[in-house]
Chain A
Amino acid sequence: MAGSGKAHLRNSDDVLIKVENLVVEFPAGRGRVVHAVSDISFDVLAGETLGLVGESGCGKSTTGRAIMQLPSPTSGSVTFDGVEMTKLGGEELRRMRTRMQMIFQDPVSSLNPRRKVKDIVAEGLSIWGSKVGTFSADRVNETLEAVGLDPEIVSDRKPHQFSGGQCQRICIARALVLDPKVIICDEPVSALDVSVQAQILNLLEDMKARYGLTLVFIAHDLAVVKNVSDRVIVMYLGKMCEVAPPDALYERPAHPYTKILIDSIPEPDPLKADHTQAVIGEIPSPISPPSGCRFRTRCPNVQDVCATEEPVLREIGAGHYVACHFPNEAPVRINA
């Protein structure tokens, strides 16, 4: 069976999230189907930050949401702390979800403009029936302080009085207040200036250490993903291209697409101004993805076999896996 493979799954007691053969499809009218995520598998260890990187439309958000069962996947399995999430319903699912929180790309629009900051942050607490009153007020203040906001100043204000970076801090506080195990961060800094982006990335690293969090960090910029991740998955059109520790991924990118992602990042030093080639063309439609390797229509290394045989993830270095028939600097050649 052609799939994206499972060679990279880890056999460890520390596996907190395990996703196997995840498929997410959406109806696209006239009987057609959007193949948003097509048979991907991965795991996340407790305390780890898993980075998901790839261009717009490759299925990063869909994958993140599928972990939360928002919506639950077309097929495949998602286990969280050993519990099969796809089989849960109603109340049980809602309880599990509080242990996983999500923050999004657009911090301003994900906050209710009519509510005060303290109420926004306390939202989850009151829904989950903690004793309202001093306990929750203390918890809210403590969390606001943790994300670098002064409760005295911000508590009674409304979101429009804050900058994008401050709104993202409020979103992070709202997620943290429930004491989650996992936070899924879906492009949390893509809408922010570089200077504010650095503040938020540092904050996420601090919060992870302070609260022992496990993070799934989604972005399209590999430099950003590399900065916070322990393991990175490169995605393309609903499939996985490469899985590796971030430093190895940068030093020895094996998949041609990973190389392109690296070359696309602007070089902030004119003295070594880059004149690398940009990726050719556009990402194909997920309604009718290319046969074989989905990257073949834009790949500089493409050969005939790429149209007929889907490459499967295989190990090429310590913790380093690639799904490609003709990777860069490949030590071994595939034989299907």
Chain B
Amino acid sequence: MSTPGASGMPLLQVENLSTAFRTSRGILRAVDEVSFTLEKGETLGIVGESGSGKSVLVRSIMNILPRTALIPPQTKVILEGKDTRLLSRAEAKHFWGTQIAMVFQDPMTSLNPVKKIGTQITDPLRFHLGMSKSAARARAIELLDLVRIPEPARRLNQYPHELSGGMRQRVIIAIALSCNPKLLVADEPTTALDVTVQKQILDLLENLQRDLNMAMILITHDLGVVAGRADRIAVMYAGRMVETADTKALFRNMRHPYAEALLKSIPRLENPSHTRLDAISGRPPDMVRPPAGCRFASRCRYAQDRCVAELPELTTAGDPDHRFACFFPVGTPEGERALAANLAAGQTATGLDLHAQAVS
């Protein structure tokens, strides 16, 4: 767990971040009014299903969006007090290489298949840090050793296809660490990997983060992946942050029905086989025409008339650090009453059938 730096200034402040894309069908609102702060050395887990805006959010922060992206002027991304949206493109390039680094989901596509591992690690060292050829090579060996790749010197002469998926992801992490970033953004770093390799990579990230005192944003669709590893968690649904809290507080007092549903859909080893899973029925809304009210309403077991008419904003109850956007929060009297009424009626205000949720 981390504390604000001596200056009292957070490492990263994101205010009112919204990102939209111009598409043939109209404006697609991928991320909508997301705000959060990240302290030095802290780990933030961002969780949500496919298409919820996780990648667009971090790509907006890093300023690596395609040209079709639209970001309104009130969006602010402040890194150590500096408003990064005011940087020129050229300034941005060096700035990101050294302050923030990113690890992507697919270890094959983020390495260049025709370049040796060695060159791929030394290029950024020479470009960003102006190292000599031999110094960069020595540092590359050090970095591969840091990510626990055996025989690092030999690996420098290998091509990506000669390595397993897990090894390739280690190389990508080594490249990301090469300029000593203050923040590492890992976008689903293990989704393409086996559970055994996933555990190795997540353990590695955790150790590196602690040893190098980096902050980290860890993105995943599986709440289980961040449960034991993030200091804070932010749950996203349809482009909006719907709940955020300290990890333990979030699991102890989960308030948002979507967060609860996401947790319940994970198959648990301790349950007997053939235990029916609590799947979330339906799918997320079309982001070109999002519903007027709560975006989760059509799939929410708690939904009432108000949810269809009004968009819930993030609020707190008691713990100022625990924010959630829901009119009938889980574990509160309002929430309990809403669910009980829906169960009695057999359906929710949006017509979701609570008896036949299995297949849909």
Contact = CB atoms under 8 A, between A and B. Distances in A.
Which one of B199, B221, B225 has the highest number of Cβ atoms from chain A below 10 Å of its Cβ? B199
Contacts of B274: 205, 227-228
Which one of B198, B228, B276 has the highest number of Cβ atoms from chain A below 10 Å of its Cβ? B228
B280 A198 contact: yes
Interface string B267-278: 111111111111
Interface residues of B, number: 53
Contacts of A206: 358-359
Which one of A164, A195, A205 has the highest number of Cβ atoms from chain B below 10 Å of its Cβ? A195
A171 B327 CA distance: 39
Contact of B196 (A202, A269, A278): A278
Contact of A269 (B227, B262, B359): B227
B359 A148 contact: yes
B228 A220 contact: no
B315 interface: no
Grouping DSSP codes into helix (H, G, I), strand (E, B) and loop, the A interface class, with mixed when no group exceeds half, is helix
B265 A194 contact: yes
A260 B199 CA distance: 10
Nearest to A229: B273
Nearest to B193: A56
Contact of B261 (A163, A195, A228, A269): A195
A227 B359 contact: no
A270 interface: yes
A221 B273 contact: no
A294 interface: no
A228 B267 CA distance: 10
Interface residues of A, number: 53
Contact of A56 (B50, B165, B221): B165
Contacts of A229: 273
Interface stretch (B247-255, B318-326, B336-344, B347-355): B247-255
A309 interface: no
B331 interface: no
Interface in B4-61: 49-51
B227 A202 contact: no
Interface string B198-236: 111011000000000000000001111101100000000
Interface in A177-221: 193-199, 201-203, 205-206, 220-221
Given A194-B262, A226-B267, A267-B227, A202 B279 contact: yes
A273 interface: yes
Given A224-B267, A228-B274, A250-B269, A264 B49 contact: no
Nearest to B284: A163
Contact of A203 (B51, B266, B359): B359
A147 B359 contact: yes
Nearest to A220: B194
B279 A198 contact: yes
B273 A266 contact: no
A264 B275 CA distance: 21
Contact of A194 (B193, B202, B266, B275): B266
A262 interface: yes
A73 interface: no
B227 A279 contact: no
B262 A205 contact: no
Contacts of A250: 269-270
Nearest to B167: A282
Given A206-B359, A227-B273, A268-B263, A195 B227 contact: no
B191 to A, nearest CB: 9
Which 5 A-B pairs rank lowest in CB-CB distance, beginning with the nearest? A273-B228, A268-B224, A266-B224, A198-B279, A148-B359
Given A226-B273, A247-B273, 8 more contacts: A165-B283, A166-B283, A194-B222, A194-B223, A202-B277, A222-B269, A227-B277, A269-B251
10 contacts: A56-B165, A166-B283, A193-B50, A194-B222, A194-B265, A224-B267, A245-B273, A250-B270, A266-B195, A283-B164
